[in-house]
Amino acid sequence: MRIKQIEEKIFKVIMMGAAMIILGLLLYIIGTVFYRGLPALTLDMITKLPGGGFYLGKEGGVLNAIVGSLYIILGSLAISIVISVPLVMYINFYLPPKSIFSSIIRFSLDILFGIPSIVYGAFGFALMIYLGMRASLLGGIITVAMLIMPLMMRSFDEVTRLLSRDLPDALLSLGATKYEMTKVIIRQMVPGLITAILLAVGRGIGDAATVLFTAGYTDNIPTALNQPAATLPLSIFFQLGSPVEEVQNRAYASAIILTVMILILSFSARYFSSKFSKHKI
Amino acid sequence: MRKIRLAKDRIARYLMLGIAIFTILFLLIIGLSLFFKALPIIREKSLWVLLTSVNWKPFKGDFGFLPFILSTFYVSLIAIIIALPFSILTSIYLNTYASKTICRFFEPVVDLLSGIPPVIYGVWGTLTIVPLIANKIAPKFVEFSTGYTVLAGGVVLAVMIIPLLISIMLEVFRSIPQEITDASLSLGATKWQTVKRVILRKSFPGIIAATVLALSRAFGETMAVLMVCGNITQIPHSVFDACYPLPALIANNYGEMLSMPSYESALMFSAFLLFIIVVIFNGLSRFTLIQIEKRYQF
């Protein structure tokens, strides 16, 4: 009788310890990045392009990488929204519930989601060679779109599945076609879609392996789709590889910029999904 | 008017069907194109030689992938060994012990951990784990280590897969019917006894599936591992040796090696290898998880 209570106490403490360690790890990671990066984080970092001798420790910033990352993520978002929304509507409202076809689609989305970003990168690059393209903004956009699409579809699908069947049934009984029905339903799904988008942006903006070969790297802001584009993760990676200490410090500062972007994205995704659950019919 | 509406509906339906079919085929397209890109090197060397040879001299035409395959395997194994106990304990805690407030507090913690980009993990690893291994841990076991080691890769990967493990395990635990745990508790079992004898036993297939899924995530992780593993082509003999996992090999060399067709084909072979392993692992574990979910859906 005594032993099982002692065992209970011991394991409870161990479990709380494990949870605390995981919380501690998160704080430790963010703390380390901020601690090392803050001294080098100046306004120049986010408002200036790399100047002459930037990679030797002279002045300049990573505006090229910030803008490049934003261009790539916006472009790939446009592609993936256009493809994801119809697909999710199709499997939820066009196909009968519990159809085998929709389970096959969901299953392939699960697997596509698990494919490593480096494989997408290699595939994207092979595709670009086949099409005769060089490392460019467009190549990066297409490859990142492949990476984020499964994530966006899955998370959008998850909230769409939760929608009660009443609204679609009411619309159909009023004589609407399924296409007209989806147009109404999408309005209901906007907060869920925003959450899915924010999650996808978080994954896409932080990934380096996909854009490593496909987007290239440049010190300028690209002005056309066929020009190479710099990205924030790659900028961190390249600066970190420099032997000059000031450049390394700037890598930590750039890491802060990326981390803050991710934190904002993650919290706003959370905000929108909580908002969604409040106003669900 | 009615005709136009119906026509619109039909066009939308076919467009959507097209997208759906393409999504399923996309997996096949990636696999096949990687395979055909890798075919020249498979024809030249035979699969067996590629997988078991330790000679990696691309400029002499020797492509042995064993060092890279073993590196990937060791790093992922260490990551799982470290991550699994933490994840199981934490998710049991969140599922059975923690109050609602703590659970709600922990959700964003797990989300944030999974949202942090690989590069940031890499930066963190080089700043903390690598010096820790080089200065504190390694000197107790070996004479010298740079810190850029199998162990460093394993630790960083472990932190990266913990959020995935926790979120899947929480789902698995939730799928266990409340009646079973209530029955166990009402018979006088403590919570821990219930966890040990009922919950863990009931969710064993789910835990295995989560582990396999996390393992396949670890196999493909590139940037973070690239930054802390040392990238020296060798078969690591201890956890304090540098290693060179497959994704890092692709990331470091692909793009520059287009002048040598056999080298390019060899790198494509490694991408294909990664693809196949991940698809099989993912397929099996997702299938198991779907079955579990189905069993408890009323």
What CATH number is attached to the domain comprising A91?
Answer: 1.10.3720.10
Whether B172 and chain A come into contact, CB under 8 Å, resolves to no
pLDDT value at position B176? 86
- Say whether both A113 and A197 belong to one domain: yes
- Say whether both A6 and A119 belong to one domain: no
Domain boundaries, position A152? 46-279
Alpha helices in B149-260 (DSSP H): 150-174, 178-186, 191-194, 200-202, 204-220, 223-228, 246-253
User: 96-155 in B: which are within 8 Å (CB) of A?
Assistant: 97-98, 106, 108-113, 115-124, 126-128
Neighbours of B189 (CB within 10 A): 18
pLDDT digits (tens, 9 = 90+) for A77-106: 999 999 999 999 999 988 887 889 989 999
- Say whether both A14 and A65 belong to one domain: no
Whether B222 and chain A come into contact, CB under 8 Å, resolves to yes
Number of domains making up chain A: 2
- Say whether both A134 and A223 belong to one domain: yes
Q: Which residues of A113-151 are buried (b: 16+ CB within 10 A; e: fewer)?
A: bbbbbbbbbbbbbbbbeeeebebbbbbbbbbbbbbbbbb
- Say whether both A105 and A32 belong to one domain: no
What's the gap in Å between the CA of A191 and the closest CA on chain B?
A: 18
Q: If DSSP codes are grouped into helix, strand and coil, which group holds residue B63?
A: strand
- Say whether both A156 and A246 belong to one domain: yes
Neighbours of B2 (CB within 10 A): 8
Q: Please report how the helices A63-89 and B2-45 are oriented relative to each other, as an axis angle in degrees rounded to 10.
A: 120
- Say whether both A117 and A97 belong to one domain: yes
pLDDT value at position B298? 46
- Say whether both A185 and A56 belong to one domain: yes
Contact across the interface for A118 and B271, Cβ inside 8 Å: yes
pLDDT value at position B258? 63
* Integer Cα distance of B157 and B148 in angstroms: 14
Contact across the interface for B118 and A207, Cβ inside 8 Å: yes
Fold assignment, B51-295: MetI-like fold (1.10.3720)
Q: Which parts of chain B sit beneath pLDDT 70?
A: 1, 255, 257-258, 296-298
Reported as type and span, the H/E element at residue B62 is strand B62-63
Q: Are A81 and A196 in contact (CB under 8 A)?
A: no
Whether B92 and chain A come into contact, CB under 8 Å, resolves to yes
Is 60 exceeded by the pLDDT of residue A280? no
Domain ranges across chain B = 51-295
Residue B250, class by beta-carbon neighbours within 10 Å (0-12 exposed, 13-18 middle, 19+ buried)?
A: buried
Contact across the interface for A206 and B117, Cβ inside 8 Å: yes
- Say whether both A27 and A124 belong to one domain: no
- Say whether both A141 and A20 belong to one domain: no
- Say whether both A120 and A182 belong to one domain: yes
Q: Which of A119, A178, A261 to mutate to test the interface with B (most CBs of B within 10 A)?
A: A119
Q: Which of A4, A7, A11, A149 to mutate to test the interface with B (most CBs of B within 10 A)?
A: A11
CA closest to B95 among chain A residues = A15
- Say whether both A92 and A25 belong to one domain: no
pLDDT value at position B257? 61
B225 φ/ψ angles, rounded to the nearest 5 degrees: -65, -40
Contact across the interface for A237 and B223, Cβ inside 8 Å: yes
Is 70 exceeded by the pLDDT of residue A199? yes
B56 φ/ψ angles, rounded to the nearest 5 degrees: -125, 90
CA closest to A93 among chain B residues = B13
Is 90 exceeded by the pLDDT of residue A4? no
What does DSSP assign to residue B148? -
Q: Are A209 and A121 in contact (CB under 8 A)?
A: yes
User: 41-80 in B: which are within 8 Å (CB) of A?
Assistant: none
Contact across the interface for B283 and A127, Cβ inside 8 Å: no
Say which of A12, A17, A255 has its CB closest to residue B120: A255
Neighbours of A97 (CB within 10 A): 10
pLDDT digits (tens, 9 = 90+) for A206-242: 898 898 888 888 888 888 888 888 999 999 988 888 8
What's the gap in Å between the CA of B120 and the closest CA on chain A?
A: 6
pLDDT value at position A168? 86
CB pairs < 8 Å spanning A and B: 259
Q: Which residues of A60-77 are buried (b: 16+ CB within 10 A; e: fewer)?
A: bbbbbbbbbbbbbbebbb
pLDDT value at position A75? 94
